[in-house]
Amino acid sequence: ASIFETVSKAPADIIFALTADYKADPHPDKVNLGVGAYRTEEGKPWVLPVVHKADKILVEDEHLDHEYLPILGLESFRKASAKLILGADSKAIAEGRVGAAQCISGTGAVYAGASFLAKHYPFKQAACYISKPTWANHRAIFEGVGISVLEYPYWDPETRGLDLKGMLATMEGAPSGSIFLLHPCAHNPTGVDPTPDQWKQIADVMEAKGHFTFFDTAYQGFASGSLDKDAYSIRYFVERGFEMFIAQSFSKNFGLYSERAGNLTIVTKTPEIKDRIESQIAKAQRAVISNPPAYGARVVSQVLNDEKLYSEWEENLSTMANRIISMRQALFDELKALGTPGTWNHIVDQIGMFSFTGLTTPQVKVLKEKYHVYLTDNGRISMAGLNTKNVKYFAQAVDDVVR
């Protein structure tokens, strides 16, 4: 008998299983609205033109080698990542109290921050509060490092918008020094973000209660098309003097999904504390990945540190953001033209990669079985999966299932 007889089978990851089902479906009109990956008007993955250029530069660079990076990663990448999210004129950076660690994309950055907190956060019993709903990996990562996870209300099914009251009440009621995981923009899965005034109210309670802020940003530049606008909430919190962790992903905004380019930016009170935290993260990272992979970080660094490439990147970002925004409008228009029952304003009001449609699990099932349209059971659709050729088909399918 095997020594592993007692091992049970784990359930497959929902998103990746959905993609596999989609791929196996031979139907010519099938639509994949599951995975959060950008697609062109032709429904194809997009290598950003600026990434192509960076690729070429790297291939032709005779001085590049394949030596190990430092444990905390490529310095030019870490610095540029922190600057990108906090702003070129960041006072916190100028004061030397911002640290950075290159991680295995956004997932790895959330993990590195969470595992640091599990070991070094002074309130040992503190829970991490995540939004209800959120990206499924948030719970998995925090529970995985031994931090208990609780939820704060976020989505209000009535208004199909933000449940600010519920969110603030939970923040008020949580024990002082709790950890709050916040999405700074393009909330996954709802596409609903707080307004600047609502961020102020959130910051007021976070400050009064002494909660710790953990931002997870996977969509900077992708939500509005503006890198600065999408960093608003984070810069506002920094300006108000919060210490925080910021997990950054370059999967979506660079289209570097498989290269695993990410960064954990750390904002503290003093350069000394920043140094100590970085040293602990380095120590922990050594035992998990030893040192991060170079390629994706080199691409990002090449673009972020070159004025001309940087502005080309901004154009590429606008292309992606605008196509998604136009698909929101197209879907809304189609549903309106069909007279589909219900209100659909949320489709155009929501922001970023996803729309939380309000479709129910049984409706999602019909969409899949009858129409070969693939989306997660919670009714979330990846807007990037829509294009001018399939948006009408999708709208007609939605119209049918809600009637």
State the Cα–Cα distance between residues 37 and 24, nearest whole angstrom.
19
**Pairing, β 380-382 against β 155-156:** unpaired
32 or 107: CB nearest ligand PMP? 107
216 classed as catalytic: yes
Pick the catalytic residue: 53, 83, 252, 274?
252
Binding site for ligand PMP (CB under 6 A): 36, 105-107, 135, 183, 188, 216, 218, 249, 251, 257, 262
245 or 332: CB nearest ligand PMP? 245
15 or 366: CB nearest ligand PMP? 15
Pick the catalytic residue: 46, 53, 163, 216?
216
Nearest approach, Cβ of 234 to ligand PMP (angstroms)?
Answer: 14
Nearest approach, Cβ of 287 to ligand PMP (angstroms)?
Answer: 20
Among residues 183, 240, 164, 244, the alpha carbon closest in space to that of 211 is found at 244
Nearest approach, Cβ of 82 to ligand PMP (angstroms)?
Answer: 17
Pick the catalytic residue: 30, 46, 53, 135?
135
Phi, psi of 93 (to 5 degrees): -70, -45
274 classed as catalytic: no
State the Cα–Cα distance between residues 98 and 356, nearest whole angstrom.
35
Nearest approach, Cβ of 174 to ligand PMP (angstroms)?
Answer: 21
Q: Which residue has the tokens 């009440």?
A: 169
CA–chain centroid gap for 204, Å, is: 24
Nearest approach, Cβ of 373 to ligand PMP (angstroms)?
Answer: 20
139 or 276: CB nearest ligand PMP? 139
Among residues 143, 117, 121, 118, the alpha carbon closest in space to that of 130 is found at 143
218 or 303: CB nearest ligand PMP? 218
Residues 6+ positions from 152 with CB-CB distance below 8 Å: 129, 130, 131, 132, 166, 167, 170, 171, 174, 180
269 classed as catalytic: no
193 or 334: CB nearest ligand PMP? 193
| Distances 131 to 134, 162, 273 between C-alpha atoms, Å | 5, 11, 29
Residue nearest to ligand PMP (CB): 106
Q: Are 176 and 186 in contact (CB under 8 A)?
A: no
Among residues 230, 291, 245, 232, the alpha carbon closest in space to that of 110 is found at 245
Nearest approach, Cβ of 245 to ligand PMP (angstroms)?
Answer: 13
State the Cα–Cα distance between residues 221 and 218, nearest whole angstrom.
9
Supply the residues annotated as catalytic: 135, 216, 252
